């Protein structure tokens, strides 16, 4: 009973509130406002400070590394089990004509194990910066993306270019000079008269 109360007392929200108030108020003023002793307020502040020191970013990284290192043997055993899994399949014995259970490779489970290994390998690859942000003299951030263009991005760009081209007005190639001059088309009758004069 005593241990439970002590544990609950350390995680009480009052400790956190006193610690936050101590950033802008004097501990004596906090004690006076809450009608508690100064030692009680100081103990609350110290308990939160100790908690912060025990749970820094470095401590978190160490804890995560310890977790990964300690579970690697079990993870390795599990992955090996997935990659070598088998299953029982009922098949007919051609000699006896009876159904028998035969051990075969469990391809579905092995594929899942292979996908897991692939995901682990991809996750361990170093990640480079995808976007570089540069600030010019006007204090306006300029985003520069990598020069590599994926197939989807190239197809999207080409489709947009084709759509923009289709919106342009239609053009006629090789327009005869007499149309640009505003004249009518030459009559074919003149050619016929010249042919008749040559025949005579």
pLDDT band at residue 8, thresholds of 50, 70 and 90?
very low
Mean pLDDT of the chain: 78
Q: Is the pLDDT of residue 2 over 90?
A: no
Residue bearing tokens 């992955």: 79
Q: What pLDDT, in 10s, does the model give residues 70-104? A: 998 998 999 999 999 999 988 888 888 888 888 99
What confidence score (pLDDT) does residue 5 get?
36
Query: Cα separation of 46 and 54, whole Å?
Result: 12
What confidence score (pLDDT) does residue 191 get?
54
Q: Helix, strand, coil proportions of the chain in percent (round to 5)?
A: 60, 10, 30
What confidence score (pLDDT) does residue 182 get?
67
Number of neighbouring beta carbons within 10 Å of residue 194: 9
Q: What pLDDT, in 10s, does the model give residues 103-148? A: 999 999 999 989 988 988 888 788 766 655 555 555 555 555 555 6
The more confident residue out of 149 and 69 is: 69
What confidence score (pLDDT) does residue 144 get?
53
What confidence score (pLDDT) does residue 86 get?
92
Q: Is the pLDDT of residue 39 over 90?
A: yes
Residues 98/92, Cβ–Cβ less than 8 Å = yes
For residue 88, report the phi and psi dihedrals to the nearest 5 degrees. Answer: -95, 130
Per-residue b or e along 62-71, where b marks 16 or more CB atoms closer than 10 Å to that residue's CB: eeeeeeeeee
Q: Is the pLDDT of residue 42 over 60?
A: yes
Residues 130/146, Cβ–Cβ less than 8 Å = yes
Query: Cα separation of 149 and 199, whole Å?
Result: 71
Query: Cα separation of 118 and 83, whole Å?
Result: 12
Q: Which residues contact 4 (CB under 8 A, 6 or more apart)?
A: none
What confidence score (pLDDT) does residue 136 get?
56
* Winning range, highest mean pLDDT, from 17-21, 51-55, 163-167: 17-21
């Amino acid at each position: 009973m005593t241990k439970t109360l002590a544990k609950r007392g350390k995680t009480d929200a009052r400790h956190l509130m006193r610690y936050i108030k101590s950033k802008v108020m004097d501990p004596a003023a906090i004690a006076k406002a809450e009608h508690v002793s100064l030692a009680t307020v100081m103990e609350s502040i110290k308990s939160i400070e100790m908690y912060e020191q025990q749970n820094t970013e470095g401590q978190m990284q160490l804890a995560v590394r310890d977790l990964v290192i300690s579970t690697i043997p079990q993870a390795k055993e599990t992955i090996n089990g997935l990659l070598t899994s088998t299953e029982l399949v009922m098949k007919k014995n051609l000699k006896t004509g009876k159904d028998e259970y035969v051990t075969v490779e469990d391809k579905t489970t092995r594929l899942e194990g292979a996908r897991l290994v692939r995901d682990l390998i991809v996750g361990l690859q170093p990640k480079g910066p995808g976007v570089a942000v540069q600030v010019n003299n006007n204090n306006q951030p300029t985003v520069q993306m990598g020069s590599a263009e994926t197939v989807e991005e190239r197809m999207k760009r080409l489709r947009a270019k084709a759509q923009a081209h289709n919106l342009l007005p239609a053009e006629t190639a090789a327009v005869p000079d007499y149309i640009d001059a505003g004249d009518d088309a030459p009559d074919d009758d003149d050619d016929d008269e010249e042919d008749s004069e040559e025949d005579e």
